[in-house]
């Protein structure tokens, strides 16, 4: 496990009762890393991930470090013969995403990506109805609004790195829209037109802080993805309209509004708990994980288009 922030903690908690060994933890500060390793039962701890990767006893590496380090760490793990589960985003540019996918294929290894929207039970139930023809998708509007001007993460601690609205949270928003539009295959969502607004980098944070994407597909579906790091009100929801009903999944509230009916759903942490367990089970069972790395490339290609279109 590389990283023990919020996601490293959630993955560690979900795997403690799974049929696997928590072998090595990699952190940045020795005292904090050692304390976390002892709390969760890791056999070893390191502050140098390359040193940890040299252990022949490790089969799987989970990359939950800073976003800008994901590609470097994933590639290093693959070169050491490890299967890799990478926190979203897979990388911060399309070239690195493709390098990871190609390297895994060349070495006969598996790479999965933590895209928890695809694990949502309510989304998978809707997907089954879309696949069967019981419903037809008309629109997806995915939103993520939060306040991150001081670069404080979800743990409440100041980060030593800067998050990325386009490649991190934008990957959540775009991937789930393509996945639903393509009936489970993002590559099948044939985007006919893309309009996007990504302002210039903020002078304080050094990144664009607003995002708006409008797409329509060959199947006459409207896909809207919007986000902001300037909003005092936190919003993270997926709103879907079909020819039969509407569905608003509020991730933060843990609710699903289907038409006029309000239902409770799994919390964000409980839903995320499935991801690492699925990856371990997939390798044991000789199948692909629920979100193989190559399946997120359509979303990453669109993000690359957006970024390139906004460059001066």
Instruction: Supply the DSSP string of 238-284, one letter for each residue.
Output: EEEEESS-EEEEETTTTEEEETTEEEE---HHHHHHHHHHHHHHHHH
Residue 294 falls inside a structural domain: no
Mean pLDDT over 268-284 rounds to 96
pLDDT at 310: 75
Whether residues 249 and 139 share a domain: the answer is yes
**125-181: per-residue pLDDT in tens?**
999 999 999 999 999 999 999 998 765 555 555 555 578 999 999 999 999 999 999
Question: Are residue 77 and residue 155 in the same domain, yes or no?
Answer: no
User: Is residue 100 assigned to a domain?
Assistant: yes
CATH of the domain at 134: 3.30.360.10
Let me know whether 12 and 126 are in one domain. Answer: no
pLDDT score of 59 more than 60: yes
The verdict on residue 291 lying in a domain is no
Q: Report residue 311's pLDDT band, with 50, 70 and 90 as the boundaries.
A: low
Looking at the fold, whether 242 and 127 belong to one and the same domain comes out as yes
Q: Do 27 and 143 sit in the same domain of this protein?
A: no
CATH number at residue 37: 3.40.50.720
Full-model pTM: 0.94
* 220-240 pLDDT, tens digit each: 999 999 999 999 999 999 999
223 shares its domain with 152: yes
| Structural domains of the chain, count | 2
Q: 185 in a domain, yes or no? A: yes
Residues 12 and 125 in one domain: no
Give the residue, 34 or 157, on which the prediction is more confident: 34
Residue 278 located in a structural domain: no
Among 82, 114, 146, which residue terminates a domain? Answer: 114
Question: What is the average pLDDT across 276-301?
Answer: 97
The answer on 183 and 246 residing in a single domain is: yes
Does residue 21 fall inside a structural domain?
yes
Average pLDDT score over the chain: 94
Q: Are residues 17 and 83 located together in one domain of the fold?
A: yes
Last residue of a domain, one of 91, 114, 137: 114
Which of 97, 114, 131 lies at the terminal end of a domain, its last residue?
114
- Asked if 99 and 206 sit in the same domain, the reply is no
The better pLDDT of the pair 310, 93 is held by: 93
User: Does residue 182 lie in a domain region?
Assistant: yes
- Report the pLDDT averaged over residues 201-207: 88
Does the pLDDT value for residue 33 go beyond 60? yes
Q: 102 and 126: one domain?
A: no
Is 251's pLDDT higher than 60?
A: yes
pLDDT at 17: 85
- What mean pLDDT comes out for the span 180-187? 98
The verdict on residue 236 lying in a domain is yes
**More confident of the two residues 242 and 17:** 242
The pLDDT value recorded for residue 269 is 95
Structural domain span for residue 47: 6-114
Long-range contacts of 278-286 (CB under 8 A, 24+ apart): 278/112, 278/119, 279/60, 279/83, 279/85, 279/110, 279/112, 280/15, 280/18, 280/19, 280/20, 280/60, 282/110, 282/112, 283/59, 283/60, 283/83, 283/110, 284/19
What is residue 84's predicted lDDT score, i.e. its pLDDT? 98
Query: pLDDT (tens digit, 9 = 90+) per residue, 64-90?
Result: 999 999 999 999 999 999 999 999 999
Q: In this model, does residue 255 exceed pLDDT 60?
A: yes
Q: Confidence class of residue 219 from pLDDT cuts 50, 70 and 90?
A: very high
Same domain, 181 and 251: yes
pLDDT of the residue at 149: 75
């Amino acid at each position: 496990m590389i990283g023990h922030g919020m996601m490293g903690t959630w993955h560690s908690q979900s795997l403690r009762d799974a049929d696997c060994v928590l072998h090595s933890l990699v952190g940045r500060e020795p005292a904090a890393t050692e304390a976390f390793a002892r709390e969760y039962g890791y056999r070893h701890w390191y502050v140098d991930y390359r040193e940890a990767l040299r252990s022949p006893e490790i089969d799987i590496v989970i990359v939950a470090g800073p976003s800008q380090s994901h590609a470097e760490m994933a590639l290093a793990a693959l070169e050491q013969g490890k299967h890799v589960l990478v926190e979203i985003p897979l990388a911060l540019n399309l070239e690195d995403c493709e390098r990871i996918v190609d390297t895994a294929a060349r070495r006969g290894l598996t790479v999965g990506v933590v895209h928890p929207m695809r694990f949502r039970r309510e989304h998978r139930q809707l997907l089954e109805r879309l696949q069967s023809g019981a419903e037809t998708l008309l629109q997806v509007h995915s939103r993520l609004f939060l306040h991150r001007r001081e670069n404080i993460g979800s743990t409440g601690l100041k980060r030593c790195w800067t998050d990325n609205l386009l490649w991190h949270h934008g990957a959540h928003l775009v991937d789930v829209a393509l996945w639903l539009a393509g009936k489970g295959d993002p590559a099948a969502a044939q985007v006919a037109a893309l309009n996007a607004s990504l302002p210039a980098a903020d002078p304080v944070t050094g990144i664009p802080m607003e995002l708006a994407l409008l797409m329509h597909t060959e199947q006459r579906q409207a896909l809207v993805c919007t986000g902001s790091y300037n909003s005092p009100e936190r919003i993270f929801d997926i709103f879907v309209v079909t020819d039969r009903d509407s569905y608003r999944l509020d991730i933060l509230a843990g609710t699903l509004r289907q038409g006029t009916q309000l239902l409770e759903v799994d919390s964000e942490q409980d839903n995320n708990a499935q991801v690492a367990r699925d990856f371990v089970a997939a390798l044991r069972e000789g199948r692909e994980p629920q979100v193989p790395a190559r399946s997120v490339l359509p979303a990453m290609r669109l993000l690359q288009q957006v970024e390139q279109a906004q460059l001066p």
